[in-house]
Amino acid sequence: MITPLEACVQTEAVCKLAPILPVLVIDDVTKARPLAEALVAGGLPALEVTLRTPVALQAISEMARVEGGQVGAGTLLTPADVANAKAAGATFGVSPGSTAALLEACEAHDLPTLPGAATATEAMALLERGYRVQKFFPAEASGGASALKAIGAPIPQVQFCPTGGVSIKNAKDYLSLSNVLCAGGSWVAPKDLIDAGDWKAIEDLAREAASLAG
Catalytic residue numbers read 48, 135
Q: Could you give phi then psi for residue 65, rounded to 5 degrees? A: -85, -10
- 142 touches 118 (CB < 8 A): yes
- 82 touches 76 (CB < 8 A): yes
